[in-house]
Amino acid sequence: MVDHDDMEERLVRILKQEGLLRTRPRSAPIAYGLAAALLIFALGGVTGSALARRNSLEALLDRQEMSLPDRVLLMQRAGTAYVRAAHQYAVSAKSVDSTAVEVASRVLMGAANAVARSDLDGGLTPRLVNVLTPALQPQIIRY
């Protein structure tokens, strides 16, 4: 009676001796898996970064092919970003900084003028300009 297990072992041993059959180190599949994971991670980072840049406020402001409802949403998003930035500054600042006051005033004045030029204000801009103009004038300190 022929023992198949014994024949198989002999055949494997002979093939190994001839160099036709080699055992693969166990670390190779782990290394390939790690390399694949790193590649996927890197591709995800590049793709995410590209999408983030594409959807940034700056990129959206440069786009010409936006619908009117999308432009309204962009105005809201930009306004919300400005308000959040001003709030974060106010929370972080220990005291009022004249540069920050100047920047905030100029931005508000610029926004008011842009809205007025576009007739989007319903007559509100002249009143806003009257309120903001004194804040833009240099203050004279008397001793």
User: Each residue of 51-84: pLDDT tens digit?
Assistant: 777 778 888 888 888 888 888 888 888 888 888 8
Binning the chain into helix, strand and coil, the percentages to the nearest 5 are: 75, 0, 25
Task: Assign 121 a pLDDT band (cuts: 50, 70, 90).
Answer: low
Whole-angstrom Cα distance, residue 104 to residue 91?
Answer: 15
Q: What is the mean pLDDT of the chain?
A: 79
pLDDT in tens, 88-120: 888 888 887 888 888 888 888 888 777 777 777
Distance CA 10, CA 8 (A): 5
